[in-house]
Amino acid sequence: MSAKLLDIRDLVVEFRTEAGLLRAVKGVDLSIAAGETLALVGESGSGKSVTSLSTMRLIPEGVGRIAGGEILFRGRDGTVRDLVHLPGREMAGIRGSEIAMVFQEPMTSLNPAHRIGAQIAEAARLHEGLGRKAARARAVEMLKLVDIPEPERRAEAYPHQLSGGMRQRVMIAIALVCNPTLLIADEPTTALDSTVQLQILVLLRRLQDELGMAILFITHNLGVVAEIADRVAVMYGGRIVEDAPMAEILTAPRHPYTRGLLASVPRTDHAARAAGRRDRLQAIPGSMVDPLKPPPGCDFAPRCAWAQEACTAAVPVLEGVASGHHARCRRWREIV
């Protein structure tokens, strides 16, 4: 794995439904280096959250399963383990301690019946064996770390007494209380207004610099990627369709789906205002691929203006475009 902290190889995840077998993730390859931020981008239903939940081994048993592939993780002791086959007790020791997760909606993740400080302290007591008094002190310390004012008083508050932005900061504090080496942030800013979104992104970047952790940042919005990511992987129909350094994705995308996502982001830059632009946002035509009835060949072909008959013959391979840049498209050379 060299410097790789997380190395996902050919991951396949399936769910059994009344309508039949649903393959939500189809051979995903992803890697994250220590201290790096990888943004995983795509529409709802593309497989982003299923990929992250698989990494945490949180796919509900009896409903879904990891049907193939490896999830290799380098622990603090330097040992590389395949999380797919790790015994449940060992995985429980890694989950929350070395790999932590922040979910999209904190109000459904926090327990409304318990005080904020107690919920943060619980993780410290579970994974680090701290006593009640030491765990409470750690909780206050974490609230201060995530820039919550009056941390002593806020530790005694209940979730409903805090704003949405404050609750999300509490979720980050819970995730970071054991100083994980990998933080998975699943749409952590979606339910927040734009001002608070930026505050959370800035906070995550600062905490990453201070703590040295890697971040897997999941979002459907390419507009936030420039604020947080080093690299970007774009997902569609359960597959990675493009991955590249952040700057290349924003300036030289080579997959039609990536171009469509970028075109749907509102322009607020100075050049657009100076030109008096009043362009309508460009929507991607059609609907997300039905995972129960995927089209032949390229999943994006039914919505793609570049599609040809050959695109439906076989699933395109992920080809190298440039150093560190790959695209799953037969016509990437023509897309400039």
List CB contacts of 298: < 8 A, sequence separation 6 or more.
304, 307, 311, 312, 315, 316, 328, 329, 330
pLDDT of residue 236: 97
What is the homologous superfamily of the domain 4-36+43-92+223-334 according to CATH? P-loop containing nucleotide triphosphate hydrolases (3.40.50.300)
Ranking 17-26, 158-167, 172-181, 279-288 by mean pLDDT, the lowest is 279-288
- Rounded Cα gap, residues 209 and 204, in angstroms: 9
Tokens describing residue 55 = 């990494």
- Rounded Cα gap, residues 334 and 336, in angstroms: 6
- Rounded Cα gap, residues 256 and 259, in angstroms: 5
Report domain extents, the chain. 4-36+43-92+223-334
* 26 phi-psi bin (left φ>0, alpha ψ -120 to 50, beta other): beta
CA distances for 267 relative to 43, 274, 277, 336, angstroms: 19, 12, 9, 20
pLDDT at 87 over 50: yes
- The closest alpha carbon to 257, from 223, 216, 306, belongs to 306
- The closest alpha carbon to 6, from 129, 184, 263, belongs to 184
pLDDT at 233 over 90: yes
- Rounded Cα gap, residues 124 and 110, in angstroms: 16
| 247-281: pLDDT as tens digits | 999 999 999 999 999 988 776 554 444 444 556 67
User: Can you tell me which residue has the tokens 């995308």?
Assistant: 253
% of residues, the chain, pLDDT over 90: 71
How many residues does this entry show for the chain? 336
- The structure's pTM equals 0.90
pLDDT at 30 over 50: yes
List CB contacts of 244: < 8 A, sequence separation 6 or more.
231, 232, 252, 253, 321, 322, 324, 325, 326
